[in-house]
């Protein structure tokens, strides 16, 4: 298991997989079937940084409203989306 936390310690994400359980083959599924999305202040720079660490680029979408979405896959094939929204949530 792995824990990822923000600087405040109030937001914590746990990544866990049971070693005795069959793992989903995310690489064989379309990225919109399942993905984890993250807010990004600069989707292009975050995408480059993640690719330097082993992520694989899938697609990039520039929305008419100015939003910038980048879809990647982590080294295990799980889809990750970077969401740089023109209007914050």
Q: How far apart are CA 62 and CA 71, in angstroms?
A: 12
Q: 84 exposed, middle or buried (CB, 10 Å; 0-12, 13-18, 19+)?
A: buried
15-33: per-residue pLDDT in tens? Answer: 788 889 988 888 888 998 8
Return the CATH class of domain 33-89. Answer: alpha beta
Q: What is the dihedral of CA 79, 31, 44, 66, to 10 degrees?
A: -140
Looking at residues 53-81, what average pLDDT do you find? Answer: 94
Each residue's pLDDT tens digit, 38-51? 999 999 999 999 99
What pLDDT sits at residue 41? 93
Is pTM beyond 0.95? Reply is no
In this structure, are residues 79 and 70 in contact, taking their beta carbons and an 8 Å threshold? no
Residue ranges per structural domain of the chain: 33-89
């Amino acid at each position: 298991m792995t824990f990822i936390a923000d600087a405040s310690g109030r937001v914590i994400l746990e990544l866990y997989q049971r070693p005795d359980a069959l793992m989903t083959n995310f690489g064989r599924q379309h990225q919109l079937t399942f993905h984890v999305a993250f807010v990004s202040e600069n989707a292009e720079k975050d995408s480059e940084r993640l690719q330097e660490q082993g992520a694989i680029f899938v697609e990039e979408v520039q929305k008419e409203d100015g939003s910038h979405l980048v879809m990647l896959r982590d080294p295990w094939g799980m889809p990750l989306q970077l969401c740089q929204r023109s209007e914050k949530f």
